[in-house]
Structure 1
Amino acid sequence: MDSNKTSCPICKSKDQVAKVVYGYPARQILQQVQRKEVKLGGCMVPENPKKWYCFNCNEQFN
């Protein structure tokens, strides 16, 4: 486990946290989504985009 990895502020999980990726996903990104290495945030970047997603508790955070 990477000790520098971001942890979820809600459930404190580190191994279930992934970066949120915005924009139209390329094939490589879709493969990372399947491996839960990243989370798709949508094609349009919101005004205050979240940077992280926790697959354990479904929380998005910065």
Structure 2
Amino acid sequence: MSINYKVCPKCGSKRNLKIIYGEPTIDLFEESEKGNVRLGGCCVPIPTPEYYCCECEYEWNKEEIIDNESFKLEKRIY
């Protein structure tokens, strides 16, 4: 089974951006201005969101997706 981390777990949208943390380079800032990435800032929160949904503005990471899939699998088994 393959897990698609890039689908928003809240609304199901496939329109999302990778979140990049740290001080951006000029090229990275330009990519952000074009809407190709989302700048997360210099302070990295814990847990660290990795993706941003352009539709509902939800932020998530791979661990959240794995936890959701594991929970769904446990529900089916029992």
Q: Which TM-score band (shorter chain)?
A: 0.7 to 0.9
1:19-46 residue CA offsets vs partner (Å, 9 max, x unmatched): 1110001111111111211111111112
Identity %: 36
Q: Which runs of 5+ in 2 are unaligned?
A: 62-78
Q: For residue 12 of structure 2, what is the aligned residue in structure 1?
A: 12
**Length, aligned pairs only:** 58
- Higher share in strand: 1
Q: How does 1:1-62 map to 2 (within 5 A)?
A: 6-14=6-14, 16-62=15-61
Task: State TM-score, norm by structure 1.
Answer: 0.80
TM-score, length-normalised on structure 2? 0.66
| More helix by percentage | 2
- Find the aligned partners of 1:19 and 1:52 in 2 and give their Cα distance: 5
Gaps of 5+ in 1: none
